[in-house]
Amino acid sequence: MPDKPKVSAITFGSAMVDTIAVLQSDSVEKISLSNAHSQFLLVEPGRKIEAEEITTHIGGGALNTAVCLARLGCEVMPVVKTGKDPSLDLVEAHCKKNQLNVDGMIISHNDPTGAAVMIASHEKNAAIFTQRGANTKLVKEDLVALRSVSVDLVHAAGLSGESANMLPEIASLAKKTGAFFSSNPGIRQISNKSNSVLTAAQDMALISLNAVEATALIPCLSALDRSLDWGTPKRNEPSLSSPGGRVPLEKFCQALASHGPKNVLVTFGGEGAWLFDGKDLHHQDVIAANVAGTAGAGDAFVATLAWGLNCGRPASHALLLAAHNASSVVSHVDTTTGLLKFEALQERANLIED
């Protein structure tokens, strides 16, 4: 295996201008509801709060994963839709700085570039206010980039609004090119367009979900197979908590894999992640870090994992590399500064080959 595989990649999803405000924990009140497993940040109306810092960065699923893959040695073209506004220059500069191919950028004259405001405090798991803008307007005609280039890896980050309808089309085009197709559809896609997600899943080499997203798919899988018996998890067996009771994680992964995905990833936040490779479940713990912000960690994990699996690395190695890259990302307030280059990531994960 070469030390530094070159993989041509295309990413789909959003391009966002992120304004991030980092606040001292004592300036915002946090309330935790233990029964609902929910937390809320409370701000006094009319009060002016001093921030530790307020910075502007470029993010979004397509660009975060594109930068991640580029740092790993891939030649990457993100397919993103932006507005014709001042933010367009920021997105283009970000792409050029990170050596991304800008030929996949599509400009909308009717919608603004996506923007988000993140409020990071306490555990730095930011509350996010978002305007998705042009990110929601991807249409079939915008997928020409995938028809006209040779590509080894295609990744579709979460798609929102009308863009979510394009997931099966992206999957179909990826299949035609013979590319490794990876996707992490978000909860809105799964909740509102589950049929679309499962249709696209037929052509996925990797589908990535968090525990909430996985649980939302359980009723869909049950409806598709009336004879499906979820069974009861054994003691200490990883499981998902659904309205009908706990579902063994391995059984869920097997059921989802039967609809196409060769690999099924389910993440559990601080409890780590599980990868089902069609035969076995592999667990990866979270790598400890001094957390400055959690935004972008999921994109780093998924993109690194897809890259590793596509390069033929063992599941355990791909997971370890993904966890270390995500750990590096959360050490920074923005979504891309912490992304590691190939050699640094291998050294950090202690996977340097002779």
Assess if residue 274 is contained within a domain: no
- Which residue type, as a one-letter code, is found at position 147? R
- Residue 43 falls inside a structural domain: no
Which of 150-154, 223-227, 304-308 has maximum average pLDDT? 304-308
Q: List the end-to-end C-alpha distance of the chain, in Å, as a whole number.
A: 11
Domain assignment present for residue 238? The answer is no
pLDDT tens sequence across 251-272: 999 999 999 999 999 999 889 9
Write down the pTM of the prediction.
0.90
User: Which is higher by pLDDT, 244 or 209?
Assistant: 209
Q: Is residue 229 part of a domain?
A: no
307 contacts 69 by C-beta, under 8 angstroms: yes
Written as one letter, the residue type at 8 is S
Q: Tell me, yes or no, whether 247 lies in a domain.
A: no
Q: How far apart are CA 334 and CA 268, in angstroms?
A: 22
Q: Is residue 245 part of a domain?
A: no
pLDDT of residue 328: 96
pLDDT digits (tens, 9 = 90+) for 310-348: 999 999 999 999 999 999 999 998 899 999 999 999 999
Q: Is residue 97 assigned to a domain? A: yes
Inter-CA distances, 94 with 73, 220, 345, Å: 17, 39, 22
Q: How many domains does the chain have?
A: 1
The whole domain housing 133 covers 8-26+50-207+292-345
The verdict on residue 244 lying in a domain is no
pLDDT above 70 coverage of the chain, percent: 90
Closest CA to 208 of 317, 284, 306: 306
Alpha carbon 210 to its chain centroid, in Å, reads 10
Given a cut of 90, is residue 129 above it in pLDDT? no
CATH number, residue 21:
3.40.1190.20
